[in-house]
Structure formats: C-alpha cells, structure tokens
Amino acid sequence: MILYILCFILFLVGLYGVITRRNVIKIVLGICIMEYSMNLLLVLIGYVEGGIAPIVVKGVEDTNFVDPLPQAMVLTVIVIGLATTAMLLAIAIRVYKKHGTFDIREIKNLKG
C-alpha cells in the first residue's frame, strides 16, 4: 500500500515541476517524470507475491506467474514515451530559435 503512495508522490513531483517551473526544459522533464511514475504504478499492480517472470520453460509446470497483461501494455507505452518526449523537445528548440529564450513568461506572441 505504501508503494502505491510513494509512486503517486513521484507523480506529484512531476506535476509540481510542470506547474511551478519557468523553464521549458524543466516542464518537459516534469512530464517525463509523470510518465515514468505511471508505468511503475501499472507494473506494481500486476505483481504477484512469489511469482516468476512470465516465460514458460519446458519441464517446469504449474508455476506462479506474474501478470503479463500490464507488462505488455507498459512495453508499448515506454517506446511511445520516447517519441512524444522527442516531439516536445523539437517544439522546445523551435521556440528557442524564434524567441531566443526558454522562459515561458517571455513568450507571449503565439502567432507565426
């Protein structure tokens, strides 16, 4: 139970970064931290006490597996997370080239 709460505290640290930081790179880092914490929470829910990795080995029968469904879902999310992080960073570089700063309070002109 305490593990779920610790995982959510990691999510809240990322959320704090998105809310209160001024630098665009720090905001992107906060979003990535939120993503990691949610991956961890999904795999934590699927864990079975004393289970082994979900690979069927010949000769060993009737074993206690860890749940494979959250692992399959999180596996795709990890690779998608890299693509969306790269997209956020590309937008951040574009903003820097146009306005000369990473500060979100200086970027008021959203046209063009």
Partner 1 sequence: MEVLLAIIIILMIAGSIYTLHARDLLSAVISYGITGFGLVICFLLLRAPDLAIAQIVVEIITLIIMIAVIRISVREDLTERSTIRVAGVRYINMRSVSFFVAGIVFMAALLFFFIQATALLDPFGVHSIRMAAAYMEQGAGLTGSANLVAGVLFDFRAYDTLGEATILITAVIGILTVLRLKGRK
Partner 2 sequence: MERGMTSIVKTTTRLICGVVFIFGLYLIVHGHLSPGGGFAGGTVMAGAFILLVLAFGDDIRHLRIIEEGSSTLENLAILLFLLLGVSGMAIGAGVFFGNYLETGQAGDLLSAGIIPVGNILIGIEVAAALFTVFLAFVIFKEEEQ
Instruction: Give the interface with partner 2 as residue ranges (CB under 8 A).
Output: 53, 55-58, 75-76, 78-79, 82-83, 86, 90, 93
**From candidates 83, 108, 109, 112, binder to partner 1 by CB under 8 A:** 83
- Rounded CA-CA distance 93/10 in Å is 27
> How many residues in the shown chain lie near partner 1 by CB under 8 A?
75
- Rounded CA-CA distance 112/102 in Å is 17
In the complex, minimum distance from the CB of residue 109 to partner 1, in angstroms, rounded to a whole number:
18
**From candidates 31, 38, 60, 82, binder to partner 1 by CB under 8 A:** 82
- Is 39 a binding residue for partner 1 by CB under 8 A? The answer is yes
Q: Which is nearer to partner 2, 3 or 80 (CB)?
A: 80
- Rounded CA-CA distance 79/17 in Å is 23
- Is 104 a binding residue for partner 1 by CB under 8 A? The answer is no
In the complex, minimum distance from the CB of residue 88 to partner 1, in angstroms, rounded to a whole number:
10
Token pair for 54 = 């979900």
- Rounded CA-CA distance 32/14 in Å is 8
CA distances from 12 to 20, 32, 78 (A): 12, 12, 20
Q: What is the CA radius of gyration of the chain?
A: 20
In the complex, minimum distance from the CB of residue 87 to partner 2, in angstroms, rounded to a whole number:
9
